[in-house]
Amino acid sequence: MNQVFALAFDHRNSFRRSFMRLTGDPTPEQHAAMVSAKEVVVDALLDAVPSAPAGSVVLLMDHEYGGGFVGRAQAGGIQVAMPVEESGQRELRYLCDGRPERIVESYQPDYVKVLIRYNPAGDTEMNARQRARLRDLAGWLVGRPQRLMLELLVPPEEAQLAELGGDRGRFDREMRAAQTATAVTEIAGDGVLPWLWKIEGPESRDDAALVAKAVHAADPASSCLVLGRGADFAAVRRWLANAAVTDGFSGFAVGRTIWWDALRSVIDGGDRDVAVQAITARYLALVREYISLAPDITAS
């Protein structure tokens, strides 16, 4: 499995609400500002390509604000993953009125990315519906060049939190890995075999190994990426340290941790070139850290 170092900027709903601080639909001027912000990150990643391992640079980018940059990114040596799910939904629903293939056919990304919120101890009927939708998409992708990248989030159920005194941190440390491994087994057992599983950061090496074992059992050709969850740099580094030394992990998919502060400065009137350089530097810092922890990886 080749290494994958993905910069995630496929945010849409959270980009509007949390980053742009919008309370309604964006005006044409606000929409243009969001498109420009997406371009800053594309430029930063293009600058990073020569310093990263060959073929490892991936951009997660949505069609809504970043679709116009897909071709330029690919021409510059970046593989592109595009989301096909509606943003910010508790239950998986596809864009384009349930026709995700329209995005794939229009933009020809390298990966088709789907985010799913799935706790095996949660609503069993909803989980079954979500698996069925994933199965339909996976079936449509058979024989096509695009590969499936599944972002698996395991939010705690109220009963689980109650058992842990309402402590979300304890859920992450004590329950999430086992629930994630079970979720992988259930999803794969329904015939859905992603090429890449985006997994919430493992709190220990044992947690990383538990999830990787479930992924390998489902499909030995698949591997895991650590996602950033918008956490601070120290937390992401800790998760990468647990993943990089674990067989079955092949890299990361980190977004807000890399670009938030630099883009915030641009939106507030700061220098664009400085922001591009800052995003490039932070992305490459994580790449180099992962490589240093997994010494079999060599830079280009």
- Render pLDDT for 99-147 as a digit per residue (tens, 0 to 9): 999 999 999 999 999 999 999 999 999 999 999 999 999 999 999 999 9
The mean pLDDT value for 147-159 works out to 96
The mean pLDDT value for 250-272 works out to 95
- Structural contact between residues 178 and 254, judged by C-beta atoms closer than 8 angstroms: no
Is residue 68 domain-resident?
yes
Is residue 287 domain-resident?
yes
CATH code for the domain of 186 = 3.20.20.70
Is residue 115 domain-resident?
yes
- The residue range of the domain holding 227 is 4-293
- Render pLDDT for 220-246 as a digit per residue (tens, 0 to 9): 999 999 999 888 989 999 999 999 999
pTM equals 0.94
Give the 3-state secondary structure of the chain: CCCEEEEEECCCHHHHHHHCCCCCCCCHHHHHHHHHHHHHHHHHHHHHHHHCCCCCEEEEECHHHHHHHHHHHHHCCCEEEEECECCCCCCCCEHHHHCCHHHHHHHCCCEEEEEEECCCCCCHHHHHHHHHHHHHHHHHHCCCCCEEEEEEECCCCHHHHHHCCCCHHHHHHHCHHHHHHHHHHHHHHCCCCCCEEEEECCCCHHHHHHHHHHHHHHCCCCEEEEECCCCCHHHHHHHHHHHHCCCCEEEEEECHHHHHHHHHHHHCCCCHHHHHHHHHHHHHHHHHHHHHHCCCCCCC
Count how many domains the chain has. 1
Is residue 299 domain-resident?
no
Is residue 300 domain-resident?
no
For tokens 């700061």, what's the residue? 270
